[in-house]
Amino acid sequence: MTPATNASADEQAEAARRLFAQECTFVRGAAQLPDLPEPELPEIAFAGRSNVGKSSLLNALTNRKSLARTSNTPGRTRELNFFDLAGRLMLVDLPGYGYARASKSEIARWNTTLRDYLRGRPNLQRLCLLIDSRHGIKAGDREMMELLDTSAVVYRVVLTKTDKPKAGELETLIKNVEKALKDHPAALPEPILTSARNGTGIAELRTDLAALANSA
For residue range 44-90, list pLDDT tens digits in order: 999 999 889 999 999 999 998 887 644 444 444 578 999 999 999 99
pLDDT for the residue 76: 43
pLDDT for the residue 65: 84
**162 contacts: CB under 8 Å, gap ≥ 6:** 133, 170, 193, 194, 195, 200, 201
The answer as to whether 58 is a domain residue is yes
The answer as to whether 215 is a domain residue is no
The answer as to whether 3 is a domain residue is no
The answer as to whether 128 is a domain residue is yes
Q: How far is the C-alpha of 62 from the C-alpha of 118, rounded, in Å?
A: 24
**Which three-class secondary structure state does DSSP give residue 68?**
helix
Digit-coded pLDDT (tens) for 159-172: 999 999 998 999 99
Q: How far is the C-alpha of 101 from the C-alpha of 57, rounded, in Å?
A: 25
Domain with residue 103: its CATH number is 3.40.50.300
For 147-174, the DSSP string reads: HHHHHT--EEEEEE-TTSS-HHHHHHHH
The answer as to whether 196 is a domain residue is yes
Digit-coded pLDDT (tens) for 175-209: 999 999 999 999 999 999 999 999 999 999 999 99
The answer as to whether 52 is a domain residue is yes
The answer as to whether 31 is a domain residue is yes
**pLDDT range class, residue 2, cuts 50, 70, 90:** very low
The answer as to whether 5 is a domain residue is no
Q: Which region, left, alpha or beta, applies to residue 30 given φ > 0 means left and ψ of -120 to 50 means alpha?
A: beta
Digit-coded pLDDT (tens) for 12-39: 999 999 999 999 999 999 989 999 999 9
Q: What predicted TM-score, i.e. pTM, was given to this entire model?
A: 0.91
In this structure, the chain runs to a length of 216
Range of the domain at 103: 16-210
- Count: domains in the chain: 1
| Beta bridge partners of residue 156, listed in sequence order | 128
Per-residue b or e along 171-181, where b marks 16 or more CB atoms closer than 10 Å to that residue's CB: eebbeebeebb
